[in-house]
Amino acid sequence: MPLAYVLVNAEIGSEDELLKELLETDGVIEAYVVYGVYDIICKVEAPDMDRLKEIITTKIRRKENVRSTLTMIVVES
């Protein structure tokens, strides 16, 4: 199954609310608020690459309080 880590920059003050929304998103199997350049890191899993792309582009990146993302697709585990 394709796996990716998505680093998320959130609107200031919306981190906790956005974390809750992300954890309820289909395909997001883990998510954490972190310190540093990014605000949240998500672990996303899908049955195939097309579904992974759909989750990231339509379910994560389009959320209201997401400012930007950086996606890292796992190539070997």
pLDDT at residue number 77: 80
Task: Determine the pLDDT at residue 76.
Answer: 87
Structural domains in the chain (count): 1
**What is the span of the domain harbouring residue 55?**
3-73
* Averaged pLDDT, groups of 10, the chain, 77 residues long: 97 98 98 97 98 98 97 93
Q: How far is CA 69 from CA 14, 22, 39, 45, 50, in A?
A: 15, 13, 10, 16, 18
Instruction: Mention every residue, 6+ apart, whose C-beta is less than 8 A from residue 43.
Output: 3, 4, 5, 28, 29, 30, 31
> Any idea what the CATH number is for the domain that residue 64 is in?
3.30.70.920
